[in-house]
């Protein structure tokens, strides 16, 4: 997906007049529901009403603290022109509700459950990040991103990182967006402890050369009449994928498109459970090792015309080469096979174009409950 990226015009008030000194300390700007946007807002005693206004007042390296409440199209009338509305660009410019185009740390004070960024069905993305070294959310300091509508491939995403490097996306919830909950492009980003639920798809992750660190994320109940509903779509050569869960999605749990010559790609301690498509589908690439992961309850239905039916397949090898998938749990102590297990490996229909090694296998699963502790919304 490509889009025109337009920089925001920085609005500078007398309170936030920048200093020529490069050594000036990092500042903290505040955003709250009981506040007003102004040319001088941002201090703790004079917070801004919109995140967009705080970003306009911020400098590279600043922190923005967002207090509990609802931000976006406040009265859901679709125009983003009322006092306190975010400075959205609907079907123009960034095609987003909030644009982070500076090196900032953006955190909530109350966590994702009580800090909601609501697009109210507008045709845009909720948040776009175009700068490197941005931090969006943190453990217990994330956001809920919801209500992004979709007309083209440039719309409908909860959080879209459009490139750059070293962006941290942690502790957020994307829910009810027409396209992906999270779309991540660029290099060396960290995506951790996020939840994508009720979106067109869960996570779309592509890297240029260095890959990403993607850990302890949950994709569940994704899919609609426009988007296939995969849990995780992963493309690239490198990356670390650990402790992620794809559960009960309309499409495939994990869809991997690995570039030729793939190296340093780690896939371990992940779970694909109860998805309507296959648990995992791998295309292209040269080598892959899958370890300590759980695959069971996946139906293997056909998905969107691009993925034929692979009944009961936990892992479909369509990469034209070998996959080392030993030491995984397939739903039964006896290993991969018919229900109640998921199937994979030699002698199954799941090896479409390649051979998958599944022996030895684990006879017991990893603890799903234990691994989800600490995720946004977990008690």
Interacting residues of 1 by C-beta distance below 8 A, sequence separation 6+: 153, 154, 183
pLDDT score for 376: 60
Residue 164: closest CA among 125, 206, 201? 206
pLDDT score for 23: 47
Q: What is the mean pLDDT of each run of 10 residues along the chain (379 residues)?
A: 34 39 74 97 98 98 98 93 95 94 98 98 97 98 97 90 96 97 96 98 91 96 93 91 97 89 81 98 85 97 92 95 95 97 97 95 77 49
Residues 232 and 246 sit within 8 Å (Cβ to Cβ): yes
pLDDT score for 367: 66
Interacting residues of 86 by C-beta distance below 8 A, sequence separation 6+: 50, 51, 52, 71, 72, 73, 80, 97, 98, 117
Q: Report how far residue 321's alpha carbon sits from residue 352's, in angstroms, rounded to the nearest whole number.
A: 10
pLDDT score for 25: 67
**pTM of the predicted structure, to 2 decimals:** 0.90
Given the structure tokens 């185009």, which residue do they identify? 101
| Cis, bond preceding 340 (omega within 30 deg of 0) | yes
DSSP bridge partners of 161: 129, 184
| Cis, bond preceding 104 (omega within 30 deg of 0) | no
Q: 114: how many CB neighbours lie within 10 A of its CB?
A: 14
Residue 70: closest CA among 146, 14, 1, 11? 146
Given the structure tokens 């409440």, which residue do they identify? 69
pLDDT score for 317: 96
């Amino acid at each position: 997906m490509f889009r025109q990226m337009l920089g925001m015009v920085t609005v500078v008030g007398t309170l936030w007049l920048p200093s020529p000194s490069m050594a000036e300390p990092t500042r903290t700007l505040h955003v709250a529901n009981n506040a007003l946007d102004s040319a001088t807002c941002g201090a703790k005693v004079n917070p801004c009403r919109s995140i967009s206004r705080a970003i306009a007042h911020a400098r590279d390296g600043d922190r923005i603290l967002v207090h509990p409440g609802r931000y976006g199209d406040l009265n859901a009338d679709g125009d983003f022109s009322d006092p306190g509305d975010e400075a959205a660009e609907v079907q123009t410019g960034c095609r987003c509700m909030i644009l982070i185009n500076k090196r900032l740390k953006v955190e909530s004070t109350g966590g994702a459950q009580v800090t909601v960024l609501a697009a109210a069905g507008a045709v845009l993305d909720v948040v776009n990040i175009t700068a490197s070294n941005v931090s969006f959310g943190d453990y217990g300091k994330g956001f809920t991103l919801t209500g992004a509508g979709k007309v083209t491939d440039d719309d409908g995403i909860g959080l879209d990182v459009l490139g750059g490097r070293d962006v941290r996306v942690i502790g957020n919830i994307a829910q009810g967006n027409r396209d992906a909950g999270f779309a991540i492009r660029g290099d060396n980003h960290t995506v951790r402890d996020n939840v994508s639920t009720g979106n067109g798809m869960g996570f779309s992750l592509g890297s240029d050369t260095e890959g990403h660190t993607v850990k302890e994320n949950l994709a569940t109940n994704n899919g609609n009449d426009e988007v296939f509903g995969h849990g995780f779509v992963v493309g690239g050569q490198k990356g670390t994928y650990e402790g992620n869960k794809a559960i009960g999605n309309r499409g495939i749990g994990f869809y991997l498109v690995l570039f030729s010559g793939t190296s340093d790609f780690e896939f371990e301690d992940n779970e694909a459970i109860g998805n309507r498509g296959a648990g995992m589908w791998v295309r292209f690439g040269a080598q892959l090792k899958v370890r300590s992961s759980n695959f069971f309850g996946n139906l293997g239905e056909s998905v969107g015309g691009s993925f034929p039916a692979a009944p009961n397949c936990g892992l479909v090898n369509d990469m034209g080469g070998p996959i080392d998938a030993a030491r995984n749990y397939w739903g039964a102590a006896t290993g991969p096979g018919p229900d109640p297990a998921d199937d994979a490996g030699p002698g199954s229909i799941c090896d479409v174009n390649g051979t998958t090694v599944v022996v030895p296998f684990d006879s017991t699963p990893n603890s799903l409950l234990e691994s989800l502790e600490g995720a946004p919304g977990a008690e």
